[in-house]
Amino acid sequence: MKQVLCIDVGRSRAADFHSETLHDWNIHFVDSLADARRLLRTRVYGVGLVLHDGLADARELAGFLRQHGHLQWVGIFAPHALDSPGCHDLILEHLCDYHTLPVDPVRLGYTLGHAHGWAMLRRHPRVHVEDTGLDATALVGDGAAMLRLRNQIDRVAKVAAPVLIWGESGSGKELAAQAIHAQSERAGGPFVPINCGAIAPSLIHSELFGYERGAFSGATRAKAGLIESAHGGTLFLDEIGDLPQELQVNLLRFLQEKTISRLGSTRAIAVDVRIVAASHVQLQDAVDAGVFREDLYYRLAVLPLAIPALRERRDDLPLLAEHFFRRYASEKSPRLRGFSHRALEAMLDHAWPGNVRELINRVRRALVMADGRLITPDDLGLAAGAVAGTAPLDDARGRSERGALLESLERSGRNVSLAARELGVSRTTMYRLMDKHSLRE
Ligand SMILES: Nc1ncnc2c1ncn2[C@@H]1O[C@H](COP(=O)(O)OP(=O)(O)OP(=O)(O)O)[C@@H](O)[C@H]1O
Ligand SMILES: [Mg+2]
């Protein structure tokens, strides 16, 4: 039986429509907002009914409905109540439909059915806004692929062996690494991420392993490296494929011996860290191409974990879109209620080359662009005719990335190493970016 929460402040008209016609609905009546709040904390509703006799404080009601915007709300008004401006705003901003007394039960049945359909489509998590949904580290999704992934994360979190995460750009590799850490017995220790592709090759060694005073000119005092700082926790080696070959040897030695020595010292320091590495390229290919050490690969890939691309788990799209809609709610206009049916369809049709990160960008853009109460395909940059996979934000990022590469290459006289250093990326990354923007001669 479908459930509906009915708020009838003043118990004015409850009996009027509690009719046989709504026989497939289980209606839970409350006569105060406080009781409604209490019920909403313990039960899950997709649809709510508000009875308004014109006397209740419309502003208080509006505040309540705003907090519980994840339900589809239907209003029932005394005819004279509609004259008040407060009621107009209430209807426009918070209700998906309204009726006036006396209620036509057949039409109300249709309305509630429709609202229920929408609520199902929006498929909210079983908890409401104040409690959660804003947790930036939660892995959202309840499709089969996501359940499988969560299951794998649970398993690998319990053991100490290295994990190698593979997934397309923006698919959630770092989030998965954080989840592994958070569920492991090291959760109380540090989670230290390092992006091997973003640190200049000349600096990676000292960043990872640290240095002693006087190890090189400018080393005026000793400094612990990132590996040491992860002691008792997890070290997340992102874009491990970008680790320069000479450092691959050092990392391998660390994995074998569980000790490091800082630059400028031969003293071995024992460090207890769990390694989680990630790559957006198949590391096996890099091994085959001779740019990644095979022995290191096997050390790292004890527990391989593949993050499915977003297009392979489209069933998660409504939930994810809703999640980001709420996460970035402060960027939206108060009128905006959610996604239109066509927007959801457009999302289901899109190929999502940029995966979850692209979804975040599109939703944030839509929050800013939307004029109406519901987000349209156009707001998402997914209107028919739009070029698939190029959200304006991505466009802008692509353009500025290309511009930065061009300028840096020009300044360095097309010296790739120099340009890479200037931009703070590895040479491998630099070549990848140059290929991406067709800048290789
Ligand atoms: N299942 C998910 N639920 C909620 N948020 C997610 C999910 N997957 C990814 N995200 C979010 O998407 C964004 C991209 O995820 P993340 O940084 O983990 O991807 P990545 O694979 O490391 O990307 P890149 O290859 O670009 O570094 C982050 O903001 C992350 O919080
Ligand atoms: Mg990442």
| 210-225 pLDDT tens trace | 999 998 888 888 889 9
Residue 357 CA to ligand 2 center (angstroms) comes to 10
Pairwise pLDDT comparison (426 vs 343), residue with the higher score: 343
Ligand 1 pocket mutation pick from 165, 166, 171 by most atoms within 8 angstroms of CB: 171
pLDDT attached to residue 270: 95
Residue 406 CA to ligand 2 center (angstroms) comes to 24
- β-partners of residue 270 are 259
Q: What are the tens digits of pLDDT across the range 124-152?
A: 443 333 333 446 678 999 899 999 999 99
pLDDT attached to residue 235: 96
Question: Which is the closest atom of ligand 1 to the Cα of 165?
Answer: 21
The secondary structure of the chain, three-state, reads: CEEEEEEECCCCCHHHHCCHHHCCEEEEEECCHHHHHHHHHHCCCCEEEEEECCCCCHHHHHHHHHHCCCCEEEEEECHHHHHCHHHHHHHHHHCCEEEECCCCHHHHHHHHHHHHHHHHHHCCCCCCCCCCCCCCCCCCCCCHHHHHHHHHHHHHHCCCCCEEEEECCCCCHHHHHHHHHHHCCCCCCCEEEEECCCCCHHHHHHHHHEECCCCCCCCCCCEECHHHHCCCCEEEEECHHHCCHHHHHHHHHHHHHCEECCECCCCCEECCCEEEEEECCCHHHHHHCCCCCHHHHHHHCCEEEEECCHHHHHHHHHHHHHHHHHHCHHHCCCCCCEECHHHHHHHHHCCCCCHHHHHHHHHHHHHHHCCCCEECCCCCCCCCCCCCCCCHHHHHHHHHHHHHHHHHHHHCCCCHHHHHHHHCCCHHHHHHHHHHCCCCC
Q: How confident is the model at residue 382 (pLDDT cuts 50, 70, 90)?
A: very high
Residue 102 CA to ligand 2 center (angstroms) comes to 57
Asked if residues 243 and 204 have their Cβ atoms less than 8 Å apart, the reply is: yes
Domain 396-436 top-level CATH class: mainly alpha
Specify the residue with its C-alpha closest to ligand 1, atom 29.
357
Specify the residue with its C-alpha closest to ligand 1, atom 10.
172
Q: How confident is the model at residue 122 (pLDDT cuts 50, 70, 90)?
A: low
Q: Enumerate residues lining ligand 1, CB below 6 A.
A: 136, 139-141, 167, 169-175, 280, 320, 323, 356-357, 360
Residue type, 360: I
pLDDT attached to residue 392: 64
Residue 377 scores a pLDDT above 70: yes
Closest ligand (CA of 361): 1
CATH code, residues 2-122? 3.40.50.2300
Domain locations in the chain as residue ranges: 2-122, 137-306, 310-380, 396-436
Residue 174 CA to ligand 2 center (angstroms) comes to 5
Span 85-96, average pLDDT: 83
Specify the residue with its C-alpha closest to ligand 1, atom 16.
172
Question: Which is the closest atom of ligand 1 to the Cα of 167?
Answer: 21
Peptide bond into 377 cis (omega under 30): no
Span 399-410, average pLDDT: 83
Does domain 137-306 fall under CATH 3.40.50.1370? My reply is no
Closest ligand (CA of 319): 1
**Whole-number Å distance between alpha carbons of 238 and 350:** 28
Which of 69-83, 233-247, 316-330 is predicted with the least confidence, judged by mean pLDDT? 69-83
Asked if residues 354 and 394 have their Cβ atoms less than 8 Å apart, the reply is: yes
Q: How confident is the model at residue 272 (pLDDT cuts 50, 70, 90)?
A: very high
Residue 161 is encoded by which pair of tokens?
């062996």
Q: What is the mean pLDDT of the chain?
A: 86
pLDDT attached to residue 424: 79
Residue 246 CA to ligand 1 center (angstroms) comes to 30
Q: How confident is the model at residue 49 (pLDDT cuts 50, 70, 90)?
A: very high
pLDDT attached to residue 126: 37
Ligand 1 pocket mutation pick from 140, 175, 352 by most atoms within 8 angstroms of CB: 175
Residue 399 is encoded by which pair of tokens?
């353009």
Residue 348 scores a pLDDT above 90: yes
Pairwise pLDDT comparison (352 vs 129), residue with the higher score: 352
Residue 61 CA to ligand 1 center (angstroms) comes to 37
Q: What are the tens digits of pLDDT across the range 21-35?
A: 677 888 888 988 989
- Percentage of the chain beyond pLDDT 70 is 91
Asked if residues 316 and 140 have their Cβ atoms less than 8 Å apart, the reply is: yes
Closest ligand (CA of 165): 1
Pairwise pLDDT comparison (138 vs 154), residue with the higher score: 154
Residue 123 is encoded by which pair of tokens?
């498929």
Span 59-70, average pLDDT: 81
Distances (CA, A) of 274 to 184, 208, 255: 10, 14, 10
- Percentage of the chain beyond pLDDT 90 is 49
Q: How confident is the model at residue 153 (pLDDT cuts 50, 70, 90)?
A: very high
Ligand 1 pocket mutation pick from 280, 357, 432 by most atoms within 8 angstroms of CB: 357
Span 116-129, average pLDDT: 60
Residue 150 CA to ligand 1 center (angstroms) comes to 14
pLDDT attached to residue 130: 38
Residue 60 CA to ligand 2 center (angstroms) comes to 43
Which of 66-80, 184-198, 318-332 is predicted with the least confidence, judged by mean pLDDT? 66-80
Span 374-399, average pLDDT: 75
Domain 310-380 top-level CATH class: mainly alpha
Is there a shared CATH topology between the 2-122 domain and the 137-306 domain? yes
